[in-house]
Structure 1
Amino acid sequence: MSNYIAKASKLPSNQFDHFYKGGNRIGKLRNGPGGPMRPEEWIASTTTRFGETVNGLSKLENGQLLRDVIASDPNNWLGEKHIAKFGASTEILVKLLDPDQRLPVHYHPNVSFAKENLHMNHGKTEAWIILDAPVGAKVGIGFKEKMNKADVAAMVANHDSAGLLKSLVFKEVKAGDAIFVPAGVVHAIESGIFVLELQEPTDLSILLEWDGFAVDGDKDGHLNLGFDTALDALRLTPLSMDELKVIITKFDIGGQRSGAIFNSVANPFFRADYLTADHAKIESGFGIFLALSGEGSMIFDNDQPLEIKQGDAVVIPYSAGGFTLSDCSGVLSRPPAV
């Protein structure tokens, strides 16, 4: 592998086909191909699609895989403290989602289930940052009332999409909302909601329905575990009012107020900050910045300034040092603090 000096770099678009339909907003924002079956972009991804070896991995502008570049120089990319705590894993996967149809009702396993059943070091706790949404659009999160495994299994076996949707709590969302989604909690996203998603670095999803989607859930909906085992990863109890207060937050999208997007419940998994030009310097550390508005620059302690504009996605190594922004705003996604 040729040597690649760790430096802040803009990332080319990284989209590929999925089982649900996408709109044109990722292509428009990121100058990527977009297209009707490309509803996702995986940004600064060192994670592959479930069961695959390369698909999903991000490339740098020179064509090298970010995963390989980080593996060849983890100290500069991640920092010694991060490596001491997490090893050479970036600990994070960032995506853009632009569904042009409702996402199916599904959920993700937590780390203990993933270790026991899949021999993986991460589950898939995730969070959604709402960038845009049609008026009245909703997300489903959690069951309305306590369920039992047999009843859920029957709805899955009977392809009872109506029953599954009826069982969910739906919340209206708009731009500037953010929702932390614990692993195990059932969820769905309605069509037209443009999301920046942070998650643990896996591709572990269990489908409870799939009619109308380009996937065979009987074959591919249960992580090759069978639904009897896969359903053990599902949280059957509703989210409490106290939990809902903590996991749903708002931030000043399009405004001038910088700050953390999620409450501390997210901190063991990932961090996200809305940054504007008035934000204090961000400390050294691996990060992924998506510019949402403006045209300006990132000024680093130990790296060349980087000119950025709306739609640029930048991967930031630890060795670049702290940085400030000028004349633009966006979201900085980071692994847990060390």
Structure 2
Amino acid sequence: MSSFVPQPAKLPSNQFDHFYKGGYRIGKLRNGPGGPMRPEEWIASTTTRFGQQENGLSKLPNGQLLKDAVAADPKSWLGEKHIQRFGISTEILVKLLDPDQRLPVHYHPDQRFAKEKLQLNHGKTEAWIILEAPVGAKVGIGFKNQMAKNEVAALVSNHDSTGLLNSLEFKQVQAGDAVFVPAGVPHAIESGIFVLELQEPTDLSILLEWDGFAVDGDKDGHLNLGFDTALDALQLEPLTDKQQGQIISRFESTQSISHAIFKSIADDFFRADYLTGDSRRVEPGFGVFLALAGNGLMKFSNASAIRVNIGDAIVVPHSAGELSIENCAGIFSRPPKA
């Protein structure tokens, strides 16, 4: 293990090409390359694109991969309790999504399916924190009615985008909404919705449609499993009334008091808080802060303060100790509690 104690650090931009259009707002916020085909930024990522060796991984300011830094000194980065429960996985992937076209209808496998079929320890439960949205913007989440596997398979094989979209339950969203998306649930995001996404640390997506997108779904849309197997990971029944009440929450950027963003349904997967310049001190632990308002300071009990400007993304190691912020606000994303 290195004798160098890791420090909180501002992360450089990590945009890269994807199969759908967008990315200009990410470039503006994060001083990155922007679009037209870089609609995602992976922030503090120790996760690679599916089937790739390095694409997707974040680098620290010195050029070292964050993944390598964590592996070299997991105790400093993650803390003993985290390691005892989760090993040296950071347990989260933070993204910015900035689609200039509707995302295709798709879904992600859960942990059980990923373990059995892909020999991975994580599925891809995720959540969207809406930063900006056009008036009347909607997201689709879950089927309206009970579906059968062969019914969905026919929609996929027939490239029936209209049928797939009509099968989804759409909800109107606005800035400040947060939507928890359980693994297995089909979903889509309309164009123009700017999202901070938290998820399990994988790149596991199964496409139900792909016409009009720069991807060959017949070849690459099913995680190399074939659709007959991949569709076993799809939740065919609608969300229950209880789930409907749990998945939607809000954060209030006008509040002067820091507060949690998600309801307890997310606790087993990730945490996020909207932090303001109040007196709250956050306990030590790995996390990622994205500054969204003000220009101020991020202070730590065991590390030097960092000046923070809008758009800065700061990765925080456990060894930095308690943190607080002054004269700024933003979202602090964290793994589940150890």
| TM-score bracket for this pair, using the shorter chain length | over 0.9
CA–CA separation in structure 1 for the residues paired with 2:23 and 2:85: 39
CA–CA separation in structure 2 for the residues paired with 1:279 and 1:100: 38
CA–CA separation in structure 2 for the residues paired with 1:4 and 1:18: 36
Amino acid at match of 1:46: T
1:133-175 deviation line (CA, Å, top 9, x unaligned)? 0000000000000000000000000000000000000000000
CA–CA separation in structure 1 for the residues paired with 2:299 and 2:324: 5
| Other-structure match for 1:337 | 337
Matched, 1:132 2:160: no
| Other-structure match for 1:30 | 30
Matches within 5 A, 1:118-197: 118-197=118-197
Amino acid at match of 1:180: F
Q: 1:3 to 1:31 in 2, by over 3 A?
A: farther
Structure 1 residues not aligned, in runs of 5+: none
Q: Are the equivalent residues in 1 in contact too, given 2:282–2:322 (CA < 8 A)?
A: yes
| Other-structure match for 2:42 | 42
CA–CA separation in structure 1 for the residues paired with 2:292 and 2:34: 17
CA shift for structure 1 position 279: 4.7
Amino acid at match of 2:69: V
| Other-structure match for 2:200 | 200
CA shift for structure 1 position 258: 1.7
CA shift for structure 1 position 184: 0.2
| Other-structure match for 1:308 | 308
1:66-101 deviation line (CA, Å, top 9, x unaligned)? 000010000000000100000000000000000000
CA–CA separation in structure 1 for the residues paired with 2:320 and 2:183: 33
| Other-structure match for 1:96 | 96
Instruction: Please give the TM-score of this superposition, normalised by the length of structure 1.
Output: 0.99
Structure 2 residues not aligned, in runs of 5+: none
Q: Are the equivalent residues in 2 in contact too, given 1:125–1:200 (CA < 8 A)?
A: yes
CA–CA separation in structure 1 for the residues paired with 2:215 and 2:92: 26
CA–CA separation in structure 1 for the residues paired with 2:72 and 2:284: 20
Matches within 5 A, 1:1-338: 4-338=4-338
CA–CA separation in structure 1 for the residues paired with 2:177 and 2:2: 42
2-11 vs 21-30, which moves further: 2-11
Task: Describe the SS at the equivalent of 1:146.
Answer: coil
CA shift for structure 1 position 257: 3.3
1:15-59 deviation line (CA, Å, top 9, x unaligned)? 100000004110010011111100000000000000000000000
Task: Describe the SS at the equivalent of 1:325.
Answer: strand
Q: Are the equivalent residues in 2 in contact too, given 1:4–1:69 (CA < 8 A)?
A: no
Task: Describe the SS at the equivalent of 2:16.
Answer: coil
1:204-246 deviation line (CA, Å, top 9, x unaligned)? 0000000000000000000000000000000000011211111
CA–CA separation in structure 2 for the residues paired with 1:310 and 1:3: 32
Amino acid at match of 1:113: F
Q: Are the equivalent residues in 2 in contact too, given 1:254–1:293 (CA < 8 A)?
A: no
CA shift for structure 1 position 254: 4.3
Instruction: Please give the TM-score of this superposition, normalised by the length of structure 2.
Output: 0.99
Amino acid at match of 2:166: K
Once the two structures are aligned, what percentage of the paired residues are identical?
71
246-255 vs 187-196, which moves further: 246-255
Q: 1:313 to 1:254 in 2, by over 3 A?
A: farther
1:260-287 deviation line (CA, Å, top 9, x unaligned)? 0000110000000000001510000000
1:99-152 deviation line (CA, Å, top 9, x unaligned)? 000000000000000000000000000000000000000000000000000000
CA–CA separation in structure 2 for the residues paired with 1:99 and 1:257: 31
CA–CA separation in structure 2 for the residues paired with 1:123 and 1:253: 31
Task: Describe the SS at the equivalent of 1:42.
Answer: strand
Task: Describe the SS at the equivalent of 1:222.
Answer: coil
CA shift for structure 1 position 3: 6.5
274-283 vs 325-334, which moves further: 274-283
CA–CA separation in structure 1 for the residues paired with 2:327 and 2:299: 11
Q: Are the equivalent residues in 2 in contact too, given 1:175–1:253 (CA < 8 A)?
A: no
Q: Are the equivalent residues in 1 in contact too, given 2:23–2:40 (CA < 8 A)?
A: no
Amino acid at match of 1:146: Q
CA–CA separation in structure 1 for the residues paired with 2:38 and 2:10: 21
Q: Are the equivalent residues in 2 in contact too, given 1:252–1:258 (CA < 8 A)?
A: no
CA–CA separation in structure 1 for the residues paired with 2:13 and 2:2: 22
